[in-house]
Amino acid sequence: MNKRTFLKQLGLGTGAALAFPTFFTGCEATPNEDFKLWVWTGGDDKTSEDWKQEFTKLKEAGFHGVLVGGGHNTLPTAIPEAKALGLEIHAWVWTMNQPGDKEAQAHPEWYAVSREGNSSLDVRPYVDYYQWLCPNKPEVQEYIFNKMMDICDLEGLDGVQLDYVRFCDVILPPGLWSKYDLVQDHEMPEYDFCYCDTCRDKFKAKSGYDPLDKEDPSQDEDWKQFRYDSITEVVNKIAAGVHERKKKLSASVFASPSLARKFVRQAWDDWDLDFVFPMIYYKMYDEPVEFVRTATREGVDALKGSKPLYTAQYLHDKNAEEVRQSIEMAKAGGSEGLAVFNYSLLSDEFLEVIKAAQKA
Ligand SMILES: [Zn+2]
């Protein structure tokens, strides 16, 4: 199942706001601004009235902001409703992974190339919706930058939230290995990117050698750092444009700075973000709930107070007690808030748990 089908099955795009009865009756919670609540949402078919109902429910539960996918199809309707209720609204956008993007597909040379020499457009790693662009091609950088600014310019929008802002997973979080029948105790060439001419030439000009000249390029620290820096460069260019427009930039990233580097070459603690959402989905890492505390702490320490960190949790694989525990752990790790994926999974039971745990 690809992500889009999956999102559809979760109810996004099908008027999810109508799927839940109105639970709150006007008794507005006092939001705890020391621990901010965020939620991912979307839905191309939602009307202004749908958004109003959804956002009212969130506001009454003490939510601070919404991360809304769908770009120009959803945001012009959603933004005024969020603003009217005093919610922050950020555009949730995919960055380096651009499945089915017609403009990008008109330039097959824009796609990242694996250590085996295959383009991510032709040979898609793990899943069909993995179609990764090369972060070092100037044309790709320009294309992504323009795409982000086009969204950022929407009237009333508070900011842009980057997702898939990384390389393809060279190593999957361990909880997913069995799903793909893999034991990824080393970097496998078919999942290791990007070895296109642009990347290799740029690295060679800097370091004096081609990574492919190494017997095992996966062991080369300079080559790893080069790729962390490649993503950082893309992010910081977007950040400059977003900040010029007096808006905010954030990103959803892998669980901790060390694991994000290891799995997807994200050095997110180096990025010019205004805040960050580490996706500490502990079950995907095959870890107990305490991992939420330790990974949050690692991120908070790495950021050294430069920006807020809001721990993200996936609701699909959790019961109410697990949601409560993960909020407790996020707080113990020094998180300044919680972001949940996603609105259609936010049952009344979860809402009550989140409200109570936020205040605890
Ligand atoms: Zn490349």
* CA 324 – ligand 1 centroid, Å: 42
Please report which helix (H) or strand (E) contains residue 163, including its range: strand 159-163
Instruction: Flag whether 123 is in a domain.
Output: no
Predicted local distance difference test score (pLDDT) of residue 33: 74
* CA 133 – ligand 1 centroid, Å: 8
By the 10 Å C-beta count (0-12 exposed, 13-18 middle, 19+ buried), 291 is classed as buried
Instruction: Flag whether 104 is in a domain.
Output: no
Mean pLDDT, each 10-residue run in order, the chain (360 residues): 40 35 42 87 96 97 97 97 98 97 97 97 92 98 98 98 97 93 95 98 98 96 98 98 98 98 98 98 97 98 98 97 97 98 97 92
Instruction: Flag whether 161 is in a domain.
Output: yes
* CA 121 – ligand 1 centroid, Å: 13
Question: What's the pLDDT tens digit per position in 150-166?
Answer: 999 999 999 999 999 99
DSSP state, 314? E
Predicted local distance difference test score (pLDDT) of residue 31: 55
Predicted local distance difference test score (pLDDT) of residue 9: 38
Instruction: Flag whether 217 is in a domain.
Output: no
* CA 111 – ligand 1 centroid, Å: 7
Domain that holds residue 48: 3-92+138-180+230-359
By the 10 Å C-beta count (0-12 exposed, 13-18 middle, 19+ buried), 26 is classed as exposed
Instruction: Flag whether 256 is in a domain.
Output: yes
Q: Chain centroid to CA 66: how far?
A: 13
Predicted local distance difference test score (pLDDT) of residue 106: 98
Instruction: Flag whether 196 is in a domain.
Output: no
For Cα atoms 50, 56, 61, give the angle at the middle one, nearest 5 degrees: 135
Total tally of structural domains belonging to the chain: 1
Closest listed residue to residue 68, CA positions, set 173, 154, 144, 191: 154
Residue 14 tokens read as 């099908």
Residue 250 tokens read as 């954030």
* CA 256 – ligand 1 centroid, Å: 25
Instruction: Flag whether 119 is in a domain.
Output: no
Predicted local distance difference test score (pLDDT) of residue 24: 40
By the 10 Å C-beta count (0-12 exposed, 13-18 middle, 19+ buried), 76 is classed as middle
Instruction: Flag whether 245 is in a domain.
Output: yes
N- to C-terminal Cα separation, the chain: 38
* CA 76 – ligand 1 centroid, Å: 35
CATH (domain of 65): 3.20.20.80
Percentage of the chain modeled with pLDDT above 70: 91
Predicted local distance difference test score (pLDDT) of residue 32: 64
Tell me the torsion sign for CA atoms 245, 246, 247, 249. Answer: positive
